[in-house]
Amino acid sequence: MTSVCAVGLGGNMGDPEAMLERAINLLRLRPELTITDQSSTWRTEPVGGRQNQNWFCNRVVLVSTDLEATPFLRLLIDIEGLLGRVRVERWGPRLIDLDLLFKDQQTFDAPELILPHPRLQERGFVLYPLEEVAPNWCHPILGLTVTEMLARLPADGPQVVRIS
């Protein structure tokens, strides 16, 4: 059965905007995926770990696919590898990061994947671009739309700026 999935893309090493485009192009080449929408690019202050790193560029794409959640995650990890991602430091600098944010209204909890993404509602760098492409998607656990989650972000949180 075909599902609508959201994929968050981010990176802050090299030319992150070009890397996001390369990742989207690789997603487009996969016959089991159809990109149905994509957000603008957003520049985001680092969160979580080290703050002394470059700001991130972030986007969200909506994808239609028949893949189940775990094979879709493996496909995203394979694309990260093709683009040169080496997992070294959690929340550290990276060439590219592809996160499966949601798959329709499904919930999923396995060691390698939790859906919806467990911190989606806390992250402006996800919610701002996600609002462009799926403002009315409703979190199946919280019962909040993307727009409602975005309105609940603290005003003094990390800066997120639309750049294109």
> Domain holding 34: CATH number?
3.30.70.560
Give me Rg for the CA atoms of the chain: 15
The residue segments making up the domain with residue 64 are 3-162
pLDDT digits (tens, 9 = 90+) for 93-144: 889 999 999 999 999 999 999 999 999 999 999 999 999 999 999 999 999 9
Question: Could you tell me the CA-to-CA distances from 109 to 10, 129, 146 in Å, in that order?
Answer: 23, 24, 21
Other residues' Cβ atoms within 10 Å of the Cβ of residue 116: 21
CB-based contact 131:150 (threshold 8 Å):
yes
Buried b / exposed e along 23-39 (16+ C-beta atoms within 10 A): bbebbeebeebebeebb
Other residues' Cβ atoms within 10 Å of the Cβ of residue 12: 21
Q: How many residues does the chain have?
A: 164
Give the residue numbers marked as catalytic. 85, 94, 97, 99
For residue 93, the model assigns a pLDDT of 80
Phi then psi for residue 114, to 5 deg, are -125, 130
Buried b / exposed e along 123-143 (16+ C-beta atoms within 10 A): bbbbbbbbbbbbeebebeeee
For residue 120, the model assigns a pLDDT of 96
pLDDT digits (tens, 9 = 90+) for 42-94: 999 887 665 678 999 999 999 999 999 999 999 999 999 999 877 666 666 88
Domain count of the chain?
1
Rounded Cα distance between 38 and 74, Å, is 21
